[in-house]
Amino acid sequence: MITKHPSRSLPTIELHSADGWQDYALLDSGDGFKLEQFGPFRLVRPDAEAVWRQTLPPAEWKKADALYKPSAEENGGHWEYRQKLPERFKMTYGPIAFWAMTSSSRHLGVFPEQSVQWDWADKVIANSKITPKVLNLFGYTGMASLAAARSGAQVTHLDASRKSVLWAKDNQALSNMANTSIRWIIDDAVKFVQREIRRGVQYDGIILDPPKFGRGPQGEVWEFYKLLPDLLQSCRQILSPNPLFVQLTAYAVKASSVTMYYAIQDMMAGFNGRTQAGEIGLTERSGAHFLSTAIFARWCREDALPQ
C-alpha cells in the first residue's frame, strides 16, 4: 500500500526562454542540430535535445558560415568553415559587451540561455537595496559576474581555467567596466570555498554553474554527483546571516530540475525565502519549439523576490 504524505506538495517546474537578445537568435532546430545567429555569423551546432524535424528548408541551413561536426567521442568534434571567421568578434547583451569565438569545442564563450539567470539576479540585486557580496563559482567567461557587478554587487569571480578568467577580464574591458568591483580568482571551487570558511568570509549571494566533469588548476577532479552535495553545504557556511540569493544551473547531467530544487531547499533550510526550479532554454524563430538547454534551481530572500 502506498501512503501519501498529506502536507507535502510537489514543486512547480518553470520554463524560461531567453528572449531578450538582439545579437543572438535560435533560427531553427531539429534532427539533432540547431541553427543559430551569433552576431553577423550563422552557425550550426549539435544538440541532442532537438529531436523534432527542422522547420526551415535545407537551403537556409546551408547558408551557415560554420558547422560543428560531432565525433563518436563524447563531446568531441571539429568545426568546418564555409567562410573564414575572425579570431573573435564582438557581441552584446544590453549594456554588456563580450568576445565570442569558435574554439576546439562547440562553445563560443557564451551560453545565450543564461541571460535568463543574469536578468533574474539583476532584479534580485536591485530589490535588495544593498551592495551585496556575490560569489560566482565556475564563472567561465564572466557574463554572470559582469551582469551582477553592473547591477551593483561586489563580485568574486572564480574559475579553474586561466584562459577563461583572462577571457572574462577582456569582456570586462570591452564592456567599459574596468572600475566595477570584480575580484578575479583562478582556483579549484571546492578548495576555495573551504578556505573562505576558515577565513570567516561571507557572501550575500552565490552563483553556481558547475560542469558535469572538470579539473582544477592543480589537477583537482570535479565530478558533479560526487561533489555537488558537499559543495552546497560548504557554500551555506559562507552565506551571510540574511542571505540574498543562491542560483544553481546544470548542463548535461542525468538529473532533473526537481533534484536541483530539493538540493537548494535542503541547503537553504532555516532561511526565509523561496525556491524555484525548472528549465531554461531558447525559443526558435521558425517553428517556435522551446529548446531546453539546462536545468536550474534558485533561492531568493522573500523581500527581494522579482515580480
Residue 74 has pLDDT above 70, yes or no: no
Please say if the pLDDT value at position 71 is more than 50. yes
Q: Does residue 85 carry a pLDDT above 80?
A: yes
Q: Percentage of residues in the chain with pLDDT exceeding 70?
A: 93
In this prediction, residue 127 has a pLDDT band, given cuts at 50, 70 and 90, of very high
3-state secondary structure of 228: helix
Element of type H or E holding 167 = helix 162-174
Count of other CB atoms within 10 angstroms of residue 242? 13
The fraction of the chain above a pLDDT of 90, given in percent, is 82
Q: Is the predicted pLDDT of residue 219 greater than 80, yes or no?
A: no
Q: Which residue has the higher pLDDT, 74 or 129?
A: 129
Secondary-structure percent of the chain, ordered helix, strand, coil, rounded to 5: 25, 35, 40
Answer yes or no: is pLDDT of 241 > 80. yes
Residue 69, pLDDT score: 93
Which amino acid, residue 51?
Answer: V
pLDDT at 8 over 80: no
The grid cell for 1 is 500500500
Cell of 136: 560566482
Q: Which H or E run contains 174?
A: helix 162-174
pLDDT grade, residue 281 (50/70/90)? very high
Q: Is 290 helix (H, G, I), strand (E, B) or coil?
A: strand
Mean pLDDT of 272-283: 97
Structural domains of the chain, ranges and CATH numbers in brackets:
17-100 (2.60.40.1180), 112-304 (3.40.50.150)
| Nearest 10 degrees: Cα torsion 277, 211, 98, 16 | -20
